[in-house]
């Protein structure tokens, strides 16, 4: 202890007030993010492939809700192309859902990327 006996830091006596303010702002931001996340989870995005012969719908949770395939996309002699078109549309739908969530959250965070946030 020696020469530092009684030392309390002394750097800003308002630290408690400032911390309370920061905590209140953080709590408000968290509530806003939860609200937006909930709203966006219910929204849907659509992706197409092959000029519209494949249509995939996903929600903000990145869940695939539907896959529509027009009959002209089905060629028994070329199943690989159909598989590729479905893959492209599904990946695009997931990316759109992810982008939608990122954009919605950045509106709350002011563009700050907080790892593990969503």
Q: Which domains are present in the chain? A: 14-109 (3.30.1310.10)
Query: What value does the mean pLDDT take over residues 12-27?
Result: 75
Query: What's the pLDDT tens digit per position in 88-115?
Result: 999 999 999 999 988 888 877 776 655 5
The predicted structure's pLDDT at residue 105: 81
Model pLDDT, residue 74: 95
* Strands 44-49 and 54-59, sheet pairing: antiparallel
Distance CA(103)–CA(90), nearest Å, equals 20
Phi, psi of 35 (to 5 degrees): -65, -50
Helices (H), the chain: 15-42, 79-109
């Amino acid at each position: 202890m020696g020469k530092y006996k009684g030392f309390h830091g002394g750097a800003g006596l308002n630290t408690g007030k400032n911390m309370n303010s920061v905590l209140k702002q953080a709590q408000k931001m968290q509530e806003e993010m939860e609200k937006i996340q909930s709203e966006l989870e219910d929204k849907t995005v659509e992706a197409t492939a092959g000029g519209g012969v494949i249509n995939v719908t996903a929600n903000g949770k990145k869940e695939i809700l539907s896959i529509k395939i027009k009959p002209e996309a089905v060629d028994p002699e070329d199943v690989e192309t159909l598989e590729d078109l479905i893959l492209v549309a599904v990946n695009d739908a997931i990316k759109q859902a992810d982008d939608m969530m990122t954009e919605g959250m950045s509106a709350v965070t002011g563009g700050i990327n907080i790892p593990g946030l969503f």
